[in-house]
Amino acid sequence: MADTPLVDLVIEDARWDEDALAALCERAARASLVHLGHDPRGFEIALLACDDARIAALNAEFRGKPAATNVLSWPTWDLSAEEDGEAPEPPETGTADAPEPLGDIALAYETCAREAIEQGKSLEAHLTHLVVHSTLHLLGFDHIRDKDAALMEKTETEILAQLGVADPYATGADMPL
């Protein structure tokens, strides 16, 4: 019996390749959880694949910034570490039959595609990075304080390396899949 999908994907823009995006999101989110010692079968993530207009509306509503962005995330819990640079609190884990929701993620097609081109990366590599990044946000990681940002970046690059994606923070990084 196959594992229940970790990511519940909702496609709002027909330019997204549903099968490819579903596989990419599963792979990136599962790798993030496993890297941190969590069993992916105990969680679920909702992911909205939308366009720039939709993400701009969400950005305005939830962050007061009426502009498109590449990705947004909404964690279910505040797992943030109290001390700068400490690992976040672990989330409550559900079961395969009753997974705990980690939160929601939204990706904007136009912004993601444009950034991949501007950065000389494949769209798949860029999206993999964004899904890993967002999954870490759902798990309480953040990049507001300096030491927290360093921990998050280090964790991201370790996960991405396991997925065959080059360090997105390295100068001149090329991210082939």
Query: 163 φ, ψ to 5°?
Result: -95, 0
Amino acid found at 23: A
What lies within 8 Å, CB to CB, of 147 at 6+ separation is 84, 85
Q: Are 140 and 88 in contact (CB under 8 A)?
A: yes
> At which residue do the structure tokens 């300096």 appear?
146
What is the Cα–Cα distance from 151 to 169, expressed in whole angstroms? 13
Query: Does residue 80 surpass a pLDDT of 50?
Result: yes
- Which ranges of the chain does DSSP label H, i.e. alpha helix? 18-35, 52-63, 109-118, 123-138, 146-162
- pLDDT tens digits, 55-75: 999 999 999 999 999 999 999
Of all residues in the chain, what percent carry a pLDDT higher than 90? 92
Q: Are 133 and 71 in contact (CB under 8 A)?
A: yes
Burial class (CB in 10 A: 0-12, 13-18, 19+), 130: buried
Q: Are 140 and 146 in contact (CB under 8 A)?
A: no
Determine the angle formed by the axes of helices 123-138 and 18-35, rounding to 10 degrees.
Answer: 50
- pLDDT tens digits, 10-51: 999 999 999 999 999 999 999 999 999 999 999 999 999 999
| Enclosing H/E stretch for 71 | strand 71-75
| Confidence (pLDDT) at 170 | 86
Domains (ranges, CATH) in the chain? 7-162 (3.40.390.30)
Q: Which residues of 163-177 are buried (b: 16+ CB within 10 A; e: fewer)?
A: bebbebeeeebebee
Q: Are 107 and 127 in contact (CB under 8 A)?
A: yes
What is the Cα–Cα distance from 83 to 28, expressed in whole angstroms? 27
